[in-house]
Amino acid sequence: MSIVSIKEVKGVVTCGDDGKAAHVFNVKNSMETRIRIGTQIASAEPAETAWLTVEGPTERDLEPDTMTQFVVNIQVPRGCKPGKFSYRLRVFDPDNPGEKYTDGENVYFEVVEKKPVVVATNGGTQKRWIWYVVAAVVTVGIIGVAIKIFTDEPEPVVKQVTVPQLEKSTLFAALQKINAGGLTFNAETGLSSRRVSNPQQVGIVVGQEPAALTQVPEKTEVKLWVGAGGRFRIEDVISHQNMNEVKTMKHVVIPQVMLNRTMEPEPDSN
């Protein structure tokens, strides 16, 4: 009884100089319920089953109409004769392996003959040329290192700053701290509102990221959450006079589009 479909996705693979290769199989549950499956490898001579191992657990659960992948690693022994070898992957029900199973089609891997490297010698001339090339490469490397040492500029040191305590401050006060603390703020990407039930929290910063007292690189962008009872605009929580000051802050940006936008508060995270 076939319980899964098996499809190998690579085709014929070739073992590397270390004798290794791998096949990837897509295995899909053909049943209408979750099944538990195991795997077994059947090699065809002259290949040996000991050369083949399945990655991962020997058994696993598979949901209906769900696919998983099995990787079969190939490791041929040193001195294996060149040739084309094959094997099949069997997937079975561990509780009833004799009746509930699926055999995949034969898949193939190759071991190719290694070609010897021939170095011609003409009365010692070839060997001398090799040494000349080695010496030239070493010389160029030394010159390159020296040039790098004397010409490379040192990596710039990134200044670290401490994130101030912004929560429980008004939005305007928080922006002042950000600007003075060497951080940055962009209302379009860093300002959100959170619905609060306490009227005293309206217009007050109720959340910040990064957290207070965190050490961060200078000019790190800060995100703020401002308390709100309902929909509001930035100008509802920053007075006209304070907004004029905000516009002069070097590290704070409030685009005009944000001034015209009405913000819908997020639910209270508490």
CATH number at residue 8: 2.60.40.10
The answer to whether residue 74 sits within a structural domain is yes
Last residue of a domain, which of 71, 92, 111? Answer: 111
Statement: the pTM of the whole predicted model exceeds 0.85:
no
Residue 140 lies in a domain: no
Q: Is 193 found in the same domain as 103?
A: no
Does residue 99 sit in the same domain as residue 172? no
Residue 154 inside a domain? The answer is no
Q: What is the pLDDT of residue 114?
A: 80
Where are the extended beta strands (E) located within the chain?
A: 4-8, 13-14, 20-29, 35-44, 52-54, 59-62, 67-75, 83-92, 101-103, 107-111, 160-162, 185-186, 191-195, 205-209, 215-217, 223-228, 252-253
Is 176 a member of any domain?
yes
Q: Are residues 182 and 104 in the same domain?
A: no
Give me the CATH number covering residue 220.
3.30.10.20
Per-residue pLDDT of the chain (270 residues; tens, 9 = 90+): 789 999 998 889 999 999 999 999 999 998 889 999 999 999 988 899 999 999 988 899 999 989 999 999 999 999 899 999 999 999 999 999 989 999 999 999 999 988 776 655 555 555 666 777 777 777 877 877 667 766 666 667 889 999 999 999 999 999 999 999 999 999 999 999 999 999 999 999 999 999 999 999 999 999 999 999 899 899 888 998 999 999 999 999 999 888 888 999 998 865
- pLDDT of 76 reads 95
Q: Which domain holds residue 31?
A: 4-111
Q: What is the pLDDT of residue 211?
A: 95
250 in any annotated domain? yes
Where is the domain boundary, 111, 144, 174?
111
- Assess if residue 187 is contained within a domain: yes
Residue 120's CB: how many other CB atoms inside 10 A?
A: 6
**Number of domains forming the structure of the chain:** 2
Q: Note whether 167 and 222 are within 8 A (CB).
A: no
Domain boundary among 111, 146, 179: 111
**Residue 141 domain-assigned (yes or no):** no
> Is residue 150 in a domain?
no
Q: What's residue 269's pLDDT? A: 66
Same domain, 165 and 107: no
Q: Is 253 found in the same domain as 172?
A: yes
